[in-house]
A = this chain, B = another copy of it.
Amino acid sequence: MSDFSKIDSYLEKNMDKSVAELSRLVAQPSISAQGVGLKECAAMVADMLRARGFTAEVMDTDGAPVVFGERKGKADKTLIFYNHYDVQPPEPLELWDSPPFEPSLREGKLYGRGVSDDKSHITSRLFAIDALLDADDELPCNVKFIIEGEEETASVHLHEFILQNKDKLKADACIWEFGGVDHRDVPMQYLGLRGICYVELFVEKLSTDVHSGVGGSILENAAWRLVWALSTLKGPDEKILIPGFYDNLQPPSKRDRELMDALPDVAEEYTKRFGVKKFIKGLTGGTDLKMEEVFVPTCTICGLTSGYQGPGSKTVLPAKASAKVDFRLVPGQMPADIVRKLRAHLDAQGFEDVQIQFLGGEPAARTDPDDPFVRTVAKTSEEVYEFPMEIVPMIGGSGPNYPFVHDLGLPVATAGLGYPDTKAHAPNENIRLDLYLKHARHMARVLKEFAKS
């Protein structure tokens, strides 16, 4: 512990400077969904890397550029930080207490769009590097940063970027862009992400909406076609009816269940947070609910749109209808295969007229909870957070960890500034500064311990 006193002291003394750097980064809008400020933000991030003696390149892709940075260190081991400089759209603006791109410090929290997801992760990791360089003039190991600009729009070009730059990206381990503590301030280690296959189903039967008094009995109704097609995908028993959907699933192990069993129950928290009246499939809580949440693939209607949606009545037969549908995938399922099976199913059910637009996807990927790197991250965490890190073998969300795990062959561990009220993707997104400092302290320790391992 004692060899971190200089580092910890540096971090405590220089918090204001690092938060000021974060504030400048947050003040630069970088909204990938709207194509706003991406080049400017990439350039700013590259400059931040160079200021720490990193080589930094702003590398083109078919979408937003990826910032790649590298600095050699003492040990011949390489850690990659995966981050993203893009942010969610700030709308609805009227629900923000301070403007989203004017970072505002209130009661130990910094507010602003992207402050949590993901800009504080970038600057707090750079802050840890500053402290290490201050203490030793060199880094304990090689460090690489991959900071992409499309994470909020499904990282569409990241997989290809990684495949095209496999040599450049060689490493031994990866720290993921997010992580955090739970409602008890206990740090969590999230080790797997479900995959996703996001599609829009679209039906168009007429060139114009028609008065329902004219068309109701004789014309094809796009909304009805969509409803009937959707109802063939999944029934009220929640079983997904697409032939082959459940093929080749890799089931959770006994170890997974043990780890899930050790985690707190979520039933009460979800009931409160989301106003849950009942869980589906007869679930009530406990390990079964936690297992179902993450180890089972889904078919979720995320949105429906057709015809008249305003107040009161309008008698119209809609020409068009569409549904946003996401499938969460578990290991063994591949997005392209799911789209093929969906198409075949719709055709077999007589819904050749339902078009499928693929809006993005990635397979699930997992890191072994007993990987030595995971142990290093967990062990160093305990010194900073006081609680042992809780190991979550898999979470229900998705992210582009598949190429890191499967193409670069890395263990991927999470650690970060998230906390239950961080409001990522929502108005009044914020971070807690105490967690900012803790993350920097944790990252400095990870780098040193990893170098020794």
* Interface status of A108 (Cβ within 8 A of chain B): no
A-B contacts, 25 of them at CB < 8 A, read A33-B312, A153-B312, A196-B315, A198-B313, A206-B274, A206-B275, A206-B276, A206-B277, A207-B275, A208-B275, A211-B397, A211-B425, A212-B302, A212-B326, A213-B328, A213-B398, A218-B270, A218-B283, A223-B301, A227-B304, A228-B236, A301-B307, A303-B306, A303-B314, A315-B398
* Interface status of A224 (Cβ within 8 A of chain B): yes
Contact check: which of B211, B227, B234, B236 meets A301 at CB < 8 Å?
A: B227
Per the 8 Å Cβ criterion, residues 303-320 of A in contact with B are 303-309, 312-319
A280 touches B218 (CB 8 A): yes
A318 contact set on B, CB distance < 8 A: 301-304
Count the copies: 2
A230 contact set on B, CB distance < 8 A: 227, 231
Specify the chain B residue showing the minimal Cβ separation from A310: B303
With A218-B280, A231-B231, A276-B219: A236-B350 Cβ-Cβ less than 8 Å: yes
A324 touches B314 (CB 8 A): yes
Interchain residue pairs A-B with the least CB separation, the first 9: A207-B275, A213-B397, A216-B298, A231-B231, A303-B307, A223-B301, A303-B308, A305-B309, A304-B306
Contact check: which of B213, B219, B297, B396 meets A279 at CB < 8 Å?
A: B219
A182 contact set on B, CB distance < 8 A: none
Residues 19-33 of chain A: 1 if any B CB is under 8 Å from the residue's CB, otherwise 0?
A: 000000000000001
Residues 215-258 of chain A: 1 if any B CB is under 8 Å from the residue's CB, otherwise 0?
A: 11111110110111011001110000000000000000000000
* Interface status of A119 (Cβ within 8 A of chain B): no
A208 touches B274 (CB 8 A): yes
A97 contact set on B, CB distance < 8 A: none
Contact check: which of B211, B221, B227, B316 meets A227 at CB < 8 Å?
A: B227
Contact check: which of B220, B302, B317, B328 meets A278 at CB < 8 Å?
A: B220
Q: How far is the CA of A265 from the CA of B180 in the complex (A)?
A: 69
Q: How far is the CA of A270 from the CA of B205 in the complex (A)?
A: 13
A160 contact set on B, CB distance < 8 A: none
A371 contact set on B, CB distance < 8 A: none
Within the complex, what minimum Cβ distance (angstroms) separates A363 from chain B? Answer: 15
* Interface status of A210 (Cβ within 8 A of chain B): yes
Contact check: which of B207, B273, B314 meets A302 at CB < 8 Å?
A: B314
B205 touches A277 (CB 8 A): yes
Specify the chain B residue showing the minimal Cβ separation from A272: B207
A231 touches B221 (CB 8 A): no
Determine which residue in A205, A213, A214 has the highest number of CB atoms from chain B within 10 A of its CB, and name it. Answer: A213
* Interface status of A360 (Cβ within 8 A of chain B): yes
Contact check: which of B200, B221, B276, B301 meets A300 at CB < 8 Å?
A: B221
Q: How far is the CA of A308 from the CA of B88 in the complex (A)?
A: 15
With A213-B397, A231-B231, A292-B218: A303-B277 Cβ-Cβ less than 8 Å: no
With A207-B274, A274-B219, A277-B220: A324-B303 Cβ-Cβ less than 8 Å: no
